[in-house]
A and B are shown apart, each in its own frame.
Chain A
């Protein structure tokens, strides 16, 4: 089985046969592998992509591995490096270790040696990821807040939440990143008969397959090297309550099989255990991915999709409810002004207008971050357009990005159409052009009214 969240590796060696044999074996072992034939190429690739691990040959023409290691550590200290060097060149390995290499391998090496080194590295990466997740969890708890909105799509969503909460059916929430899918799930739980029991959330996309399995099912003492005590999984903790599976579209094929079985039976065993455990929980899943597309691409099981998609709720992106932007902005302003004890209590009308024109690709989360930043950097009682440096008040586009006149026109028409809910006559009035001209421009730019 492949690990769920693939560890990415860059193999750097000037010999093609070595690059190919190493990458072939590592791919079979479930890693995501890219190769580079020399040092400068490797350093260029590191600027473009993130690599967890680099397997680095020492003797290479153009730039030797030691130089590559030095340069890499200046910019990417988190990438773990294993150097590969010939027998008899142990001094290179020693120097590499002094420069921060994680380990070294003497060529040619046994598969067992490579396997053990990779296991150690994966354990290290897993620990780092756990640490990050814990930090994120603490931050989430301190910032929890309810959904905010008064636009028609949000009022419809609130009605659906109340209806859905009455039943015990499985719910699939879809929507772009940052739209507030977890808040919808929490609202369903809060309105349901299970609200006295726990709401247990897990971000499936943030864990390796091994860690996700242990988090969901729990583990028995001694089930694996670090299992020093028996631990309850989220499925068990959610008994009588609600289990929220965030980013369910990111889970591996193996975990999909496990999850399907649990959803069918509500029974499971802890990792390393033999006793079957029953748990009564309601499942709410969420994803920003197009699961139908994933099914067609055979990376998501259709049977699991049907099991999850009993009731479907779609959370609208912020650009489809611009009337909520001032409300949300005021809401976040109150919160962050209180938290930071700053006397900022209003938003300048021009700032609000710029915010309404902006498309907010990161949705509510992006808006929240923008307000938090504006509160931190703001010098007056009012948030001015200049306090939102990434939003240019004149254009509503990303600062510093130069657009052609046609791109500008296309974007502006799209924004007006969105603001007018696709109403052609109203949009034409705002744009001060006739309907026929607007139709021509919509066709020209391939816009959807």
Chain B
């Protein structure tokens, strides 16, 4: 039985430590994964699209996986820049389905695309929803059509804000099935 993975939080360029700490604590509580915050990695220039002034999120996922770790792991990158994948105008984040890497952007949740700058609690709420949603993909969950479920697809901030910070009962069962497939490594017991 494979060991339960560690979750590494990796800021891409320095990110406000308060945000990282908040995410770390909340994700630990929600997903019951051992979380470790790694030092920031610089944003690589090759992911930047000058014309769009955005970073290519799929390339950033590959960049996050450049560093190897001895233990099984998942990695969540956190960045202040706006993200895109080629055919879409923007994305809030991206993840590898049943893979290892996920990334979220603080740009649009923080009002960076001309939206009203949100209150801190709303901003944190958005980040946490995005982070756990993308991590849900790495744990094998697809988009969910149950109303309000955290794994539901949110095309804009309004829909993101309507979502609850909870998984529906189906996604909870599928997550539990996923967790049952792991054993605790000696250092987590």
How far, in angstroms, from A210 to B146 measured CA to CA in the complex? 10
Asked if A109 meets B88 with Cβ closer than 8 Å, knowing A27-B97, A115-B153, A253-B174, the reply is: yes
Report, as a range, how many residues of chain A touch the other chain.
Answer: 20 to 34
> Which of B88, B144, B169 has the most chain A CB atoms closer than 10 A to its own CB?
B88
Q: Taking the complex as formed, is A112 at the interface, i.e. its CB lies under 8 A from any CB of chain B?
A: yes
Q: Which of A21, A29, A30, A114 has the most CB of B within 10 A?
A: A21
A3 to B170, CA, bound (A): 13
Contact A30 B143 (CB under 8 A): yes
Name the CB-closest residue of B to A301: B177
Determine if A110 and B155 form an interchain contact, defined as CB atoms under 8 angstroms apart.
yes
> Is A15 located at the chain interface by the 8 A CB criterion?
yes
Report yes or no: B137 in contact with A28, Cβ–Cβ below 8 A: yes
Of A22, A24, A29, A110, the residue contacting B143 (CB under 8 A) is: A29
Known: A107-B87, A109-B87, A257-B169. 20 other contacts (CB 8 A): A1-B171, A17-B85, A18-B87, A20-B58, A21-B85, A22-B87, A25-B88, A27-B97, A27-B142, A28-B137, A29-B142, A108-B87, A108-B89, A110-B90, A110-B155, A112-B155, A115-B155, A210-B145, A253-B174, A257-B173
Any chain B CB within 8 A of the CB of A443?
no
User: How many pairs, one residue from A and one from B, have CB atoms within 8 Å of each other in the complex?
Assistant: 71
Q: Give B residues with C-beta under 8 Å from A.
A: 58, 84-91, 95, 97, 137, 142-146, 151, 153, 155-156, 169-171, 173-174
Pick the contact of B155 from A30, A111, A210 — CB < 8 Å? A111
| B interface majority secondary structure | loop
A447 close to B (CB within 8 Å): no
- Cβ of A79 to closest chain B Cβ, rounded Å: 20
Write out the residue numbers on chain A whose beta carbons fall within 8 Å of the beta carbon of B156.
112
Inter-subunit contact A21/B58 (CB<8 Å): yes
- Contact yes or no, B97 A24, CB < 8 A: yes
Residues of A within 8 A of B (CB): 1-3, 15, 17-18, 20-22, 24-25, 27-30, 84, 107-112, 114-115, 210, 253-254, 257
How far, in whole Å, are A29 and B133 apart by their CA atoms in the complex?
13
Instruction: For B86, give the chain A residue with the smallest CB separation.
Output: A17
Chain A residues, CB < 8 A from B85: 17, 21, 24-25
C-alpha spacing A106/B90, complex, angstroms: 14
Return the chain B residue nearest A17 by Cβ.
Answer: B86
How many whole Å from B171's CB to the nearest CB in chain A? 7
Cα–Cα distance between A18 and B88 once the two chains are bound (Å): 9
Residues A21 and B87 in contact in the complex (CB < 8 Å), given A28-B143, A30-B142: yes
Q: Which 9 A-B pairs have the closest CB atoms?
A: A112-B155, A21-B85, A17-B86, A29-B143, A1-B144, A254-B170, A18-B87, A2-B142, A111-B155
For B142, list chain A residues within 8 Å (CB): 1-2, 27-30
B97 near A28 with CB under 8 A, answer yes
Tell me the nearest residue of chain B to A30, going by C-beta.
B142
Contacts of B89 in A (CB 8 A): 108-111
A-B contact pairs, 24 of them (CB 8 A): A1-B142, A1-B151, A17-B85, A18-B86, A20-B58, A21-B58, A21-B86, A21-B88, A24-B85, A25-B85, A25-B88, A27-B97, A29-B143, A108-B84, A108-B87, A110-B90, A111-B91, A111-B153, A114-B88, A115-B155, A210-B145, A253-B170, A257-B170, A257-B173
A-side contacts of B144, CB under 8 Å: 1
- B-side contacts of A210, CB under 8 Å: 145
A257–B174 CA distance with the chains assembled, in angstroms: 9
Residues on the B chain within 8 Å of A28, using CB: 95, 97, 137, 142-143
